[in-house]
Copies of this chain bind each other. A is one copy, B any other.
Amino acid sequence: MEILEAIKNRRSVKSYQSRPVEREKIEQVIEAGLWAPSGQNQQPCRFVVITDSSLLGEIERELYRVCSMVKKLRPLIALFRPELRGEKGKRALRSIRERAFHGAPVLIIVGAMRDSSSTYHKDTAMATQNMMLAAHALGLGSCCMGWIGALNSSRRARKLLNLPKGFEITNAIVLGYPERVPKAPPRKTLDETTTWF
């Protein structure tokens, strides 16, 4: 698949078949993440793949529990988490869903050790984008899990996933064969977004 075409045709898929994803394809998706650039070539990205449906369910329930708590305590938490302040914070919290994983058979958590690099937030986001493009090229759908970082403060999730101390979950995608592929939302234009000098 052509790259510019893949970039435009990739959608955030929110409805999946229960059909499992071949291990080889999951590996190709992660490999695409490993080939993303990283600050000073530190390659900080680490991946946790969950295909076990019972664990997947437990993580999804725990995510909902933690996110619901964040929603309730937003004014307090926003004191030290600027991204939860104001209208944008309220809007983000409205997007919390009980079935956050959309029935997908695979979750790939992306993260890094906090002392690994000064740019791991960017590096892991770039790796995640590579992974979503690779998934699309392999006939898979994916969707980025905006709220996954809430699990960093969950002892239960950290224990279930055996995350080492100092490990930060930064992103995650669900992965699977799409049941429905949504239409592309219209994009902002160059004129609306770009200044030239």
A100 at the interface (CB under 8 A from B): no
Q: Please report the C-alpha to C-alpha distance between residue A67 and residue B35 in the assembled complex, in whole angstroms.
A: 28
Q: Is the CB of A47 within 8 A of B92?
A: no
Q: Is the CB of B195 within 8 A of A47?
A: yes
Q: Which residue of B lies closest to A138 (CB)?
A: B4
Taking the nearest CB of chain B, how far is it from the CB of A149, in angstroms?
10
Q: Which residue of B lies closest to A121 (CB)?
A: B121
* 8 A Cβ contacts from A140-191 to B: 144, 146, 161-162, 170-171, 185, 187-190
Chain B positions within 8 Å of A84 at CB level:
118
Q: Which residue of B lies closest to A189 (CB)?
A: B34
Q: How many interface residues does chain A have, given as a range?
A: 35 or more
Q: Please report the C-alpha to C-alpha distance between residue A10 and residue B133 in the assembled complex, in whole angstroms.
A: 14
A2 at the interface (CB under 8 A from B): yes
A63 at the interface (CB under 8 A from B): no
Chain B positions within 8 Å of A128 at CB level:
122, 126
Chain B positions within 8 Å of A195 at CB level:
46-49, 161-162
Chain B positions within 8 Å of A162 at CB level:
195
Q: Is the CB of A134 within 8 A of B7?
A: yes
Chain B positions within 8 Å of A161 at CB level:
195, 197
Q: Which residue of B lies closest to A36 (CB)?
A: B129
Q: Please report the C-alpha to C-alpha distance between residue A37 and residue B195 in the assembled complex, in whole angstroms.
A: 21
A3 at the interface (CB under 8 A from B): yes
Chain B positions within 8 Å of A42 at CB level:
88, 91
